[in-house]
Structure 1
C-alpha cells in the first residue's frame, strides 16, 4: 500500500527499474528535454559555403595547396576565393574557360599559359612575382627541388600556389575520394547535380576531416562536415 495513494503504472515501474540499473553500471541517461538543456541533442549540420573547406575561410597566402581528384572542385574554389585577385593557369589546357566562368571565375583577371614546355619553373616564378593565385596544372612538370624553390618564392611574394598533384610542404590537401554526377541519362548529357566526398588533410586536422560537397544546377556549391577519417587516412598528411 502506498502512502501517497497513487499507484505507479507498469511503465513507470519499468522506467524506475531501468534507471536504477543504469546508475549501477555507470550509464548516464538523458531525456529529450535534458538533452536540449545540456546541449546534447544531435541535429544534422546545415550546408555551409564552400569556403568551409578552407581553414580560415580563404586560400592561405605564401603557401601551396593541393586539390586532388576533381578539376571541378579546383574551379569552384577559384570562383569563391578569387574576388578581385588575378589568377594564372599554367600547364592545364583541358581546364575549360566555360567551366571556370560557370564556377564564378572572372576571366578578365585570368592569365592562361596552356604549355610552358621546358620553361615551367621559370614561367611559374615570373608569375608568382605579380599574380596572387597561381595554378600549376598537371602538365606543369617540376622536380622536387623546383617545387621547393617556387614555394619559397610564393612565401616571399605572399602568393598562393594551387596544384592538382602532390606538392611537398602544402599547407593542406583536399582529396576528392568519390564524385557522383546526376542528370538525364545519369548525367551523360546534362549534368544537374554533383556530390563530392572530400577529405581535408593537414597538421591541424589530426587524422583528417571529411566533408560532403554538393552543387545543384548552377547554384553555388555548399559543403557539410561529416566526420574524421580513420588512422589509415591519417598517415597521408600534408607536406
Structure 2
C-alpha cells in the first residue's frame, strides 16, 4: 500500500522546527496586525517653525485676513500688538480669534507716513502688523526690517516683504454656512503653504476651524517647488 500524502516542503519543515523550539523554551507565537493611527491635528502654532513667530524678522501672511487674526490670537500671549494701516481688519474678528484688545495699538490711518509710524512702534511693540494702507516702498521695507532685527520685533504683512523669514501662502479657502458662509460662518478650511529656510520647497498644511473653536493645523504633504523669476 502506497502512502498518498505528499512529503512536507522545506517551508513546512522550517515552520515545524520553529514551533518545536518555541515549545521547548516556552515561547508563544502570536500573529499581530499593526494598524497605523491616522495623523492627529495640532494647534495652529504647528503652522509655525518652532511653534511661534520668528523674532526680529518679517512674516508674510498672504490672501487671508482670517489667518492673520488666528495667528495673532494663537501667538500674542502677553505681548503687545500694533495694527498699522489696515482699517478693514475687524477688531471684533480679532477678539473672536482670541486677541487681547487691551494689548492692541491700532493706527488705521497713517496719513501717508506709514514708514515713520512703523519705525516708532518697532521700538516698543513686540508684534507689528504692517497693513496694506502703510504703502511702503522697497527701501522702506528694508530699513524697517533692519530695525526689527535690532529691536527683536516681529513684522507681519499681508503683502510680500523682501527678506521675510517666513511666508504663508493661502492656496485655497472654503467657508461653510448659509450662502456659503457669507452671513454666518460655521466652518472654515484653508490650504496653506509654508515656506522658510528649513522647508525647502515648502510644506502644505490643512487649516480648519469649526464654529467658534480654535483653528487646528495638519501637515499634509510637501509643496511643489516654485520656479525662480
- What residue in structure 2 maps to residue 174 of structure 1? 168
In terms of Rg, which structure is larger?
A: 2
Question: Is the CA contact 2:82–2:105 (under 8 Å) kept in the aligned structure 1?
Answer: yes
> Which of 184, 195, 198 does residue 204 from structure 1 map onto?
198
Q: Note if 1:123 corresponds to 2:117.
A: yes
Alignment of 1:12-31 (within 5 A): none
3-state SS, counterpart of residue 190 of structure 2: strand
- What residue in structure 1 maps to residue 46 of structure 2? 52
- What residue in structure 2 maps to residue 99 of structure 1? 93
Question: Is the CA contact 2:112–2:134 (under 8 Å) kept in the aligned structure 1?
Answer: no
Deviation of the 1:43 alpha carbon: 4.1
- What residue in structure 1 maps to residue 212 of structure 2? 218
Instruction: Provide the C-alpha distance between the structure 2 equivalents of 1:197 and 1:4, rounded to a whole number of angstroms.
Output: 58
Cα-Cα RMSD? 1.9
Q: Which 4+ stretches in 1 moved above 4 angstroms?
A: none
The CA deviation string for residues 197-239 of structure 1, in whole angstroms up to 9 with x for no partner, is 00001221111100000000000000110001123x3648xxx
Q: How many residues align?
A: 205
Question: Is the CA contact 2:81–2:104 (under 8 Å) kept in the aligned structure 1?
Answer: yes
- What residue in structure 2 maps to residue 16 of structure 1? none
The CA deviation string for residues 144-196 of structure 1, in whole angstroms up to 9 with x for no partner, is 11111101100111000000000011011000011000012321221100000
**C-alpha distance 155-43 of structure 1, shift in aligned 2 (>3 A):** same
Calculate the TM-score normalised by the size of structure 1: 0.81
**Structure 2, unaligned stretches of length 5 or more?**
13-30
**Structure 1, unaligned stretches of length 5 or more?**
9-31
3-state SS, counterpart of residue 212 of structure 2: coil
The CA deviation string for residues 15-51 of structure 1, in whole angstroms up to 9 with x for no partner, is xxxxxxxxxxxxxxxxx958x4xxxx65431110000
Higher helix share: 1
